[in-house]
Amino acid sequence: MTLAELTQAIRLKVDIDMEVTVAESIAEHALGFFGFSNRIIDNALEPTDRNLFYQLQDYDLLTTESEETTLWDGREWRIHYWKFKADAREFARNAMLNADQKKVEEDPYAGIYDDVPTSLWRERMKDEDEDDDWEEPLF
**Closest CA relative to residue 39, chosen from 70, 67, 7:** 67
Is-above-0.85 flag for pTM? Answer: no
Report pLDDT digits (tens) over 3-25.
888 888 888 888 888 888 898 99
Report pLDDT digits (tens) over 86-137.
777 777 777 777 765 655 555 667 777 777 777 776 766 665 555 555 555 5
Backbone angles phi, psi at 128, to 5 degrees: -75, -30
Q: Sketch out the chain's domains with CATH numbers.
A: 3-110 (1.10.10)
